[in-house]
Amino acid sequence: MSLPKAEDLEQLEEIEKQWAVKAMHHAETYFSLLEAMDGSKLKLTKIDDEIYNDWVASFGPDLPRIDILDEDKDFKSPAMKEKWRNFIQKYEGKVTDYNFGSLLRIDVSQDYTRENTMFVTRIQFLTIEIARNKAGLNLQHYKKN
């Protein structure tokens, strides 16, 4: 097994930086949308209802709270990792960039900050934000303006 060359490591660092910039830009754009319109009228994908209904059916009694997320309990526990893995895979080919990294707010009442952000896949971001929008939880950001 050969070790990577220094120039390869620099390229990996650059890719990580590019991902971080893209993820932050996506987060800022999404939050700007929430401030500009009623989130319950926002369509994040062509299949929002399918994603939401599948999430409710797939997670059943283990459905996480969506107003304030518990990253360890609802995303990182072994049982939930398995549920999320099975759920995420269903969207390969259905949702563009379904498994790309995204930033998700932990507390729906707050903006994106270092303390209020967790790293998830794109489909996890979409699922939670679709549920938050359906529940009217993001409306508070629109009403502030």
In this prediction, the residues of the chain whose per-residue pLDDT falls under 70 are 1-16, 145
Largest interatomic CA distance in the chain = 57
Say what the pTM is. 0.87
CATH class for domain 6-143? mainly alpha
pLDDT in tens, 24-48: 888 999 999 999 999 999 999 999 9
Q: Measure the CA–CA gap between 22 and 83, rounded to whole angstroms.
A: 27
Q: Measure the CA–CA gap between 67 and 65, rounded to whole angstroms.
A: 6
Q: Measure the CA–CA gap between 34 and 39, rounded to whole angstroms.
A: 6
Domain boundary assignment for the chain:
6-143
